[in-house]
Amino acid sequence: MAVVRRLEADRIDMSGYEIRFSGAGGQGLQLCAKLLSTALANEGVNVATTQSYEPTSRGGLSRADMVVSTEGPVEYPLVTALDYLVVLDGAAVGISEALVRDDGLILADERRVDAIPDGRYTVNRMPFTDIAIRLGSERVANVIALASLVGIGGICARETLERTIRAGAPAKLLDLNLRALHEGFALADREVMTA
């Protein structure tokens, strides 16, 4: 059973927080950061993004980091204490888990991430890949995870993220990405209600 909690307004300082999307190359982690940073910028929020990935195009470790500031420019662009961590592949746990704040939130793909060490943070294991396969393409697990993060964390308005995806997705993939987005929002809503 997943442990899920909606983050309270006083849980983190919403004037500044850090997010990491972590997994394997080819899972669309850089795209997640790009979409979310664009959505936040459209809401007037300052965002710095950095990325790291191995030279292999598929399968190597990959991550995309975001430092967010709602009150002025981002002062330091690298993550130091993650408020939110999304993990789509078990191989990426070790490079990120130690950076999660004591009261941070980890969203992990329950098919691809076997275990995350017990910590001071909350871990939500969610069926991102399973839902993506049901939709017809495992490649949209990233969009499902992104929507779940926004749905649970309230990081930006859902409508803003949807507008961003509508503007940025290739026409032939728009319907699939929108279905993945709505599945992610619904997953977040279901998990929060059962907690």
pLDDT of 8-47, one tens digit each? 434 445 679 999 999 998 899 999 999 999 999 999 999 9
Using DSSP bridges, classify how beta strands 16-24 and 61-69 pair: parallel, antiparallel or unpaired. Answer: antiparallel
Strand pairing report for 46-53 and 61-69 = antiparallel
The phi and psi torsions of 62 (rounded to 5 degrees) equal -145, 145
- Cβ-based neighbour number of residue 172 at 10 Å: 7
**Tens digit of each residue's pLDDT (9 = 90 or more) over 101-135:** 999 999 999 999 998 888 889 999 999 999 999 99
Provide the pLDDT for residue 53.
77
CB atoms within 10 A of CB 62: 26
Q: What is the pLDDT of residue 3?
A: 35
Give the tens place of pLDDT for each residue, 129-154: 999 999 999 999 999 999 999 999 99
Q: What are phi and psi of 55, to 5 degrees?
A: -65, -15
Give the pLDDT score at 75: 87
Q: Is the pTM of this model over 0.85?
A: yes
* pLDDT tens readout for residues 61-90: 899 999 999 888 898 889 999 999 999 999
Report how far residue 73's alpha carbon sits from residue 75's, in angstroms, rounded to the nearest whole number.
6
Given a cut of 60, whether residue 6 has pLDDT beyond it is no
